[in-house]
Structure 1
Amino acid sequence: MTYKSAQSLGVRSNLLVAQGVSITEQQEDRIILRMPDEPYNWGGNMLYFKGDEIRAEEHVARFKQDFPTMAHIALSWDVSDMTIGPDHKGLSDLGFELEQLDILTLTGSLNRSEAPKGIIIRPVTSETDWEQVIQLQLDVGEEQGYERSSFEHFIRGRFLARRKQIQDGWAIWLGAFDGDLLVADLGIYADKVVARFQDVETRKSHRKKGICAALVTAGIDWAKSKAPDTIPVLQALSDGPAGRVYRRCGFAHQETQVLAILPPQGMYERPEE
C-alpha cells in the first residue's frame, strides 16, 4: 500500500487516516493524495514532496498538473524534521499560509487516566450519537473562527467518509457522555505501525476535568488491542493546551512537519482579525 512507503510518521499517519476513502499515487518526487468524494478537504487532496527542497513555482505547477480542478493548493514534505525558514519565503510570497506542526508520539508507558465520576466513555454508534458529534465539531469550529454554515457542509461530508472507515475496521470513534449528552469525542485510526488520533474535541462546559486524557487512554487501549506494537501519533503544538494534555499522558515530540496551504476564496475561511 502506498501509505506504507512514507518516510515520516507524520505523513504515514496522515495517509493512514485517508485509507479506504482515498486514492494515493507514488511518483518519483512526490506522493499524491486524492479524496474524490471530498474536493473541499484540503488535507485530503494534497502533495507530499520527497526530500526537503522547496521549489515554490515548481511545486505549485505540480499541484495544478495533478489537481487541475481544485480551487485550493495544499503542499507538504515527507521528511521528519522540517521547520519554517527562509526557503519557504517563495511560497509565502505567493500567498500561502504556512503552518508548522509538532508530531508527538507515545513510545514509552502511557500515564493512564480514568474518566471522571459520572462520565461514560463508549463508541459512538447511533444516529443520535453521530449528530451530537457533528454538532460538537461545529460548535468548536465556530469558537475557532469558522463560518458555521459552510463549515457544516465540510464536516458532514467528512463524517460520512469516517463512518465508512469505521465500518471497514480502520478506526473507532469514541465519545464521553454525561448522561445522554456528548461532552467530548475523538477518533483513532490504527495499523501495525502507527495509530493516529483525530479531532479531539471537548464541550466548553466540561473542559479541564480530565475527560480528554481519559479519552486518549481509551483510544490507545483500542489501538493496542488491534496492534500491540503500534506507535500512537498525533499532531499538536507541544506547548499548546492540547499538547500539554498529551505530554501528561506520556507523549513526546518526535517530528516537525510543515504544511503550506493556498485556500480558495469563500470556503469556511477564518475571518480577518
Structure 2
Amino acid sequence: MSPLRSHGLRSDLMVLRGLSVVEEHLDRVVVRTPSEPDFWFGNMVIFRDDRIEPDAQIARFRKDFPTSRHVTIVWDAPALSNAPALERFTALGFEIDRSDVLTLEGLSNPAPVPPGIEIRPIETPEDWEQVIALQIETGIEAGHLPEIHAPFVRKRFANHRKQVAGGRGCWFGAFDGAQLVGDLGIFEGEGTARFQDVETRESHRRRGICAALVSVGLNWARRRAPASTPVIVAYTEGNAGRIYRRCGFTLSEQLLAVIRPPDGAKAT
C-alpha cells in the first residue's frame, strides 16, 4: 500500500503507534484505538483521495465502526479545502474541521524562559495530575462539557503516560512555583517530531510561556533525532498559530475532516 501523502496524518499515526490498530485498504485507512473508543481522531476513516461522497462515505464508516457513537472522516488530500458536497455533511449534523499543519524547516527562533518560570519534564504522579487538571480546565474554557471532557482527558493521558514511560516522547511542564501553568507533549519517530496538546493557564497567557515550551520541546527533539521534522497542527491565524510562526514554523498543508460527535459533545 502507498503511504499517506499528508505529513500531518502521517505524524498522527506515528503518535498513535502502539495504541492504535491501522488497517490499510486500497481506498482508505481505518484507524482504531481500542482503549479509547470515544477518541474521535483515534477512531477514524481516512479516505485516500479527494472525492467527497457523503452518503457512501458515512455508510463505509458505519460498516468499519458499527458500534461507534461518533463519525470521523478525513481525506488524505492536503490541498482539499472546500467543496459543494460538504453541504450534505452539514445538513446531516456534521461539523467541518479544517486544520493547518505547520512544520519547521531549518533553524527555529528560540524563546527564553520567562523570569520566575521553570520548565521541566513531567515525571511524578502529582505533576501528571496537574497536567490532567489543566487540560480539563482549558477544554471546558473552549466549550467542552465537563462530564464528557474530563473522562476523555483522563483516558488520553493514561495512554500518554504509558507512551512517555516507554520512551516514545516527553511531556514538559511550565511551573510558577509549585503550580503548573503550561504544558505540552512531543513525540518522535519516523522522521517526525510531533507536538501535542499545547496549553497555557489563562492567568499566565501572553507572557511567552507557550513559546518557551515549544523551544524546550524543539531542543529535546534535536538531541534525540537531529534530522526529524517538527510538526504542529494548529490554526495558523489563531493565537497559538501566531506563536508557532514566531518560533519559525510555516504552513505546510491544510487538512479537511468532518465529525459528527455524540449528542451533547463539541467537536471543535
Same fold, TM exceeding 0.5?
yes
**Corresponding position of 2:63:** 65
**Corresponding position of 1:39:** 37
Q: Which amino acid aligns with 1:166?
A: V
Q: Which amino acid aligns with 2:244?
A: Y
**Corresponding position of 1:91:** 89
Cα distance, 1:189–1:151 mapped onto 2, change above 3 Å: same
**Corresponding position of 1:25:** 23
Q: What is the TM-score normalised by the length of structure 2?
A: 0.96
SS in 2 for 1:130: helix
Return the match for 1:178 from 176, 179, 183.
Answer: 176
**Corresponding position of 2:238:** 240
**Corresponding position of 1:131:** 129
Q: Which amino acid aligns with 1:88?
A: L
Alpha-carbon separation, structure 2, partners of 1:86 and 1:101: 19
Q: Which amino acid aligns with 2:187?
A: Y
Equivalent positions of 1:103-252 (< 5 A) are 103-252=101-250
The C-alpha deviation readout for 1:78-132, integer Å capped at 9, x for no partner, is 1221112213222222221101111111012100011111111111010110010
SS in 2 for 1:5: coil
Q: Which amino acid aligns with 1:6?
A: L
SS in 1 for 2:263: coil
Alpha-carbon separation, structure 1, partners of 2:141 and 2:112: 27
Return the match for 2:266 from 248, 262, 269.
Answer: 269
Alpha-carbon separation, structure 2, partners of 1:243 and 1:235: 9
Q: Tell me if structure 2 keeps the 8 A contact 1:192–1:229.
A: no
**Corresponding position of 2:257:** 259
Alpha-carbon separation, structure 1, partners of 2:157 and 2:267: 21
Q: Which amino acid aligns with 2:238?
A: G
Cα distance, 1:270–1:58 mapped onto 2, change above 3 Å: closer
Instruction: Number of aligned residue pairs: give it.
Output: 268
Alpha-carbon separation, structure 1, partners of 2:99 and 2:184: 19
Alpha-carbon separation, structure 1, partners of 2:33 and 2:152: 13
Alpha-carbon separation, structure 2, partners of 1:164 and 1:59: 34
| Structure 1 stretches lacking a partner, 5+ long | none
Alpha-carbon separation, structure 1, partners of 2:250 and 2:94: 29
Q: Tell me if structure 1 keeps the 8 A contact 2:95–2:267.
A: no
1:80 aligns with 2:78: yes
Q: What is the TM-score normalised by the length of structure 1?
A: 0.94
Q: Tell me if structure 2 keeps the 8 A contact 1:145–1:270.
A: no
Alpha carbon RMSD of aligned pairs, Å?
Answer: 1.5
SS in 2 for 1:114: coil
Cα distance, 1:270–1:93 mapped onto 2, change above 3 Å: closer
| Structure 2 stretches lacking a partner, 5+ long | none
Cα distance, 1:226–1:192 mapped onto 2, change above 3 Å: farther
Superposed structure 1 runs of 4+ greater than 3 Å apart: 268-271
